[in-house]
Amino acid sequence: MDTPTFTLGELAQRFGLELRGDASRAITGVATLASANANQLGFLANPRYRRELAATRAGALVLRADAAAGWAGDALVVRDPYASFARIAALFEPREPFAPGVHPSAVIAPDAVIDPDAHVGAHASVGARSRVLRGARIGPGCAIGADCVVGEECELVARVTLVTRVRLGARVRIHPGAVLGADGFGLAMHEGRWIKVPQLGGVRIGDDCEIGANTTIDRGALEDTVLEEDVRLDNQIQIAHNVIIGAHTAMAGCVAVAGSSRIGRYCLIGGAAGIAGHIEIADRVTVQAMSFVTRSITAPGVYGSAVPARDARAWTRTLARLNRLDRTPAG
Amino acid sequence: MDTPTFTLGELAQRFGLELRGDASRAITGVATLASANANQLGFLANPRYRRELAATRAGALVLRADAAAGWAGDALVVRDPYASFARIAALFEPREPFAPGVHPSAVIAPDAVIDPDAHVGAHASVGARSRVLRGARIGPGCAIGADCVVGEECELVARVTLVTRVRLGARVRIHPGAVLGADGFGLAMHEGRWIKVPQLGGVRIGDDCEIGANTTIDRGALEDTVLEEDVRLDNQIQIAHNVIIGAHTAMAGCVAVAGSSRIGRYCLIGGAAGIAGHIEIADRVTVQAMSFVTRSITAPGVYGSAVPARDARAWTRTLARLNRLDRTPAG
Amino acid sequence: MDTPTFTLGELAQRFGLELRGDASRAITGVATLASANANQLGFLANPRYRRELAATRAGALVLRADAAAGWAGDALVVRDPYASFARIAALFEPREPFAPGVHPSAVIAPDAVIDPDAHVGAHASVGARSRVLRGARIGPGCAIGADCVVGEECELVARVTLVTRVRLGARVRIHPGAVLGADGFGLAMHEGRWIKVPQLGGVRIGDDCEIGANTTIDRGALEDTVLEEDVRLDNQIQIAHNVIIGAHTAMAGCVAVAGSSRIGRYCLIGGAAGIAGHIEIADRVTVQAMSFVTRSITAPGVYGSAVPARDARAWTRTLARLNRLDRTPAG
């Protein structure tokens, strides 16, 4: 894996950025302001880091016009420096080559179909009637059950499980330990014992979704659990059966969504937030980290219920006063 | 997998339901009220969905006598429609056939014992002195360590880990990514460094338990971590060492139970709730979602401490007033 | 695996403990006060259990001098009985022998280097340019990607994933289902769609760290995510990209740490606590379970924000009064 090199002029042209300074400067990588060297490109998106401009040794920066006034070096100027930096950084991402073909240690059901241009890695298994489409990459140790579809150019990094009836659109990326299509948690109490409610639905994942490490998405009871296109889930998230998540919604780590809830498009759900079951959340709703949504939300906006930590003795006193509220006349 | 067909009369007789209407109607599947067709059976258990009765195209419904008054079509009438529906739905669940035998890619310790009527799937491993009993199904990618027992008719769906000294009763079902029998988190600080406390116990799981995807149950420090019979755990749950969970208790996703706590029988623990260590919870206790139980609970009932999310600016004002409580004279 | 036997005198000498009683007493194991027999050693560290002294049948006890006054039997007396017990218990821990060598079913990249004294188990894979050093044990089903280092005497118990650019120091122990080095959650919104921000950093784990089952530690965006030496993480923890955790810090299960935060040395983070992104926490900070740290903490101490559960009707009334605070005059 040789280091690729681009001139600043090439980068400006490729991504439609305004070049200020030396078009011929060679860029061999990207880095933080604090660590970049003269051949590396840095970026400034968050004004908080503007004070680092004075000390950076970066060869050039991606930044906004207003910030560029404080920077005498070479620059790529753009309204949205973080997104542009992301696209430039992708040029420098080392990617292991995936050879098409099925590793000899993989176990493929006789009636599964693997596109000749797909890759199935070591110790992977693909179950009955499942299909792996063109350009898909199934990493080592993945277990794909029956009746699944892995769409074109999907990447299952390693040790991903698709249990049954899981259909992935194109370019879906799933990180290790994620489990899609396990039984939803359906129980009925009958004569003092639990009866399992069969989970007959599947999971449908739209194009360009990303699913984090050890995240779980259960299959539906009667109909499917659904992620629309471009949904982005971080690690350790739990999506219960029959949840529907609208396009372009992103969730930070450890969020839990209970069964049959419907979340809108362009929502942002903060880390470790909880969403109760059987509710609806409108488009463009932001839920703050560690908050608990118990009712439907019908208007866009920011919602929260988390309590910031403070000195434990002070917090204990606050709790005591809070409990005492119960016993005082209404106020 | 051909679609099975039953007449309404057969279903009534098989499950002891009251038949109203055409005993010869053929039922080929189950579905929601909204999507069912004339050959499918729907159900009405939650009064909230009663308004969907008018529009459903279901061939027949399972419902209570009081709800049946609002439904002119064929019906199976019963006091407990959800449980009956669950049992009927199981007839229509597609089940992949599991052939008895050990997949050639599986790795079995020389002194492990696999019943000839059990199945061990691709890329599974079974460690020293472990036993897999009659009718058990070990799915692809499972890793079973030393001194484990997989009871009769257990199902380890795929990529399940039993680390060491894990004994499963009969008919236990474990979903992908679950880890049973990892070391409990025992540490002692000694001269400025952590010493690991050896975890010498095991894990004991009773008959008919179900364990969700990516759930973890640690083995005990000196004695066992225990789930009694018919305990039902959803996904992403953490059960620390030496916890004991009583029979028929169910926990929703992302619950965390700290070490050495003892939870009663027939408890219901809501999603993402936390249970502190070294406490006892009585039988028939319900803990609400995202609540934190810090002390023993000695009486049945419903307990909670979760705060519902609201508009973030309003919540910020509430927090400010809450903190100010500290500084006002006691009320 | 024969049971090892030590005399009380041998144990006293080996660990520098004060012997009271019969130096020749044979000890064949360790156990709780309640279950120990005459050949087993118990311990008393928590004064709460002092009342169990009267009934125990333990052959000998490890305890402090003040507690020893209440115990007529043989004893090993020490200031720190829990740590000493931990070290003694390790003598009795059954350890499966790991033969050096690579299991025939493992798949090793041609340019990976496995020390001849290391073990690589069944169905494990090791990617390009990765190195497994002397005495390391890679359990069954582990997937190690490109450019990783598994340090001397590390133990990856089973089904661990190191995705890419993960470097482990010496004696690191990682439990099943843990995923280190997955992509950090970096997204930029551009013209109504998410762009993935490449994650070019790695993960660096110091000597003697322990990482629990199903815990996830993402790799950094530009620089590394770092655990210094002797950090101890329980199960189901999420460590986001570019987090730095100081030496000797311990976290209980289900903690979530958001991106770029820096946690000090000798911190104790309680179960299911959350740490917001881009903050710093000083050395020797304790965060209580289920609390949410939203700002930097600059002084050692105990911090919390969790609300203990109570009777649900009482809690509902408290919430109503809390909300009403908003609408009353301050004070």
Q: Return the pLDDT at B327.
A: 64
Residue B331 pLDDT more than 50? no
- CB of A258 within 8 Å of a chain B CB? The answer is yes
Contacts with C133 (C-beta within 8 Å, 6 or more apart), sequence order: C115, C118, C149, C150, C151, C152, C154
Rg of chain C (C-alpha set): 25
- CB of A281 within 8 Å of a chain B CB? The answer is no
Residue C301 pLDDT more than 50? yes
Q: For residue A3, what are its two tokens?
A: 């280091």
| Interface ipTM above 0.90 | yes
Instruction: Tell me how crowded residue B302 is: count the other CB atoms within 10 A of its CB.
Output: 17
- CB of A145 within 8 Å of a chain B CB? The answer is yes
Q: How far is the alpha carbon of C293 from chain A, nearest alpha carbon, in Å?
A: 5
Chain C residues in contact with B318 (beta carbon < 8 A): 322-323, 325-326
Q: How far is the alpha carbon of C196 from chain B, nearest alpha carbon, in Å?
A: 26
B103 catalytic, yes or no? no
- Note every long-range contact of B146-154, with CB atoms under 8 Å and residues 24 or more positions apart, other chains counting: B146/B109, B146/C94, B146/C96, B147/B202, B148/B181, B150/B118, B151/B207
Distance CA C123, CA B143 (A): 10
Residue C146 pLDDT more than 80? yes
Q: What is the mean pLDDT of residues B274-298?
A: 98
- What count of CB pairs under 8 Å joins B to C? 209
Q: How far is the alpha carbon of B209 from chain C, nearest alpha carbon, in Å?
A: 21
- CB of A159 within 8 Å of a chain B CB? The answer is yes
User: How distant, in Å, are the alpha carbons of B98, B131, B134 from that of B113?
Assistant: 19, 5, 11
- CB of C307 within 8 Å of a chain B CB? The answer is yes
Chain C residues in contact with A252 (beta carbon < 8 A): 185, 258
Q: Do C222 and A30 touch (CB under 8 A)?
A: yes
Q: Do B92 and A198 touch (CB under 8 A)?
A: yes
Chain C residues in contact with A311 (beta carbon < 8 A): 301-303
Q: Do A163 and B158 touch (CB under 8 A)?
A: yes
pLDDT band at C330 (very low <50, low <70, confident <90, very high): very low
Out of A119, A175, A241, A248, pick the active-site residue.
A241
Q: Collapsing DSSP states into helix, strand and coil, what is residue C55? A: coil
Are the C-beta atoms of C264 and C285 separated by less than 8 Å?
A: yes
Q: Return the pLDDT at B94.
A: 84
Residue B202 pLDDT more than 90? yes
DSSP letters for C254-283: T-EE-TT-EE-TT-EE-TT-EE-TT-EE-T
Are the C-beta atoms of A172 and A208 separated by less than 8 Å?
A: yes
Q: How far is the alpha carbon of A250 from chain C, nearest alpha carbon, in Å?
A: 9
Are the C-beta atoms of A246 and A283 separated by less than 8 Å?
A: yes
Facing A274 at nearest CB: one of B158, B175, B290 = B290
Helix residue ranges per DSSP H, B69-120: 81-91
Q: How far is the alpha carbon of C214 from chain B, nearest alpha carbon, in Å?
A: 7
Distance CA B144, CA B254 (A): 24
- CB of A73 within 8 Å of a chain B CB? The answer is no
- CB of A299 within 8 Å of a chain B CB? The answer is no
Facing C141 at nearest CB: one of B143, B291, B314 = B143
Domain with CATH 2.160.10.10 in chain C: 160-303
Q: How far is the alpha carbon of B286 from chain C, nearest alpha carbon, in Å?
A: 9
DSSP A292: E
Q: Return the pLDDT at C331.
A: 40
Nearest CA in chain C to B141: C141
Chain B residues in contact with C272 (beta carbon < 8 A): 256, 272, 274
Among C150, C102, C153, smallest CA distance to C130 is for C150
Nearest CA in chain B to A311: B323
- What count of CB pairs under 8 Å joins A to C? 211
Among A57, A60, A53, A58, smallest CA distance to A24 is for A60
Place of tokens 């299959």: A219
Residue C267 pLDDT more than 60? yes
Q: What is the mean pLDDT of chain B?
A: 95
Chain A residues in contact with C214 (beta carbon < 8 A): 177, 214, 236
- CB of A183 within 8 Å of a chain B CB? The answer is yes
- Residue ranges of E strands in C104-206: 107-108, 113-114, 119-120, 125-126, 131-132, 137-138, 143-146, 149-150, 155-156, 161-164, 166-168, 173-174, 179-182, 187-190, 193-196, 203-205
Per residue in C62-115, pLDDT (tens digit) is 999 998 888 999 999 999 999 999 999 999 998 877 789 999 999 999 999 999
Facing C96 at nearest CB: one of B123, B128, B307 = B128
Low-confidence ranges of chain A (pLDDT < 50): 330-331
- CB of A293 within 8 Å of a chain B CB? The answer is yes
- CB of C122 within 8 Å of a chain A CB? The answer is no
Domain with CATH 3.40.1390.10 in chain B: 6-91
Burial of B234 (0-12, 13-18, 19+ CB in 10 A): buried
pLDDT band at B37 (very low <50, low <70, confident <90, very high): very high
pLDDT band at C326 (very low <50, low <70, confident <90, very high): low
Q: For residue B191, what are its two tokens?
A: 């001269």
Q: For residue A13, what are its two tokens?
A: 């042209």
Chain A residues in contact with C295 (beta carbon < 8 A): 308
Nearest CA in chain C to B311: C323
Q: Return the pLDDT at C42.
A: 95
pLDDT band at C2 (very low <50, low <70, confident <90, very high): low
Q: Do C198 and A157 touch (CB under 8 A)?
A: no
Q: Return the pLDDT at A3.
A: 76
Chain B residues in contact with C30 (beta carbon < 8 A): 200, 222
Q: What is the mean pLDDT of chain A?
A: 95
Q: What is the mean pLDDT of residues C162-187?
A: 98
Cα B314 off chain centre by: 37
**Contacts with A, B 96-115, CB within 8 Å:** 96, 103, 105
Among C229, C276, C268, smallest CA distance to C249 is for C268
Q: What is the mean pLDDT of residues B238-250?
A: 98
Q: Return the pLDDT at C47.
A: 84
> Which of the four CATH numbers 1.10.1740.110, 3.40.50.300, 2.160.10.10, 3.60.15.10 does domain C160-303 have?
2.160.10.10
> Which of the four CATH numbers 1.20.1630.10, 3.40.1390.10, 2.60.120.10, 3.40.220.10 does domain B6-91 have?
3.40.1390.10
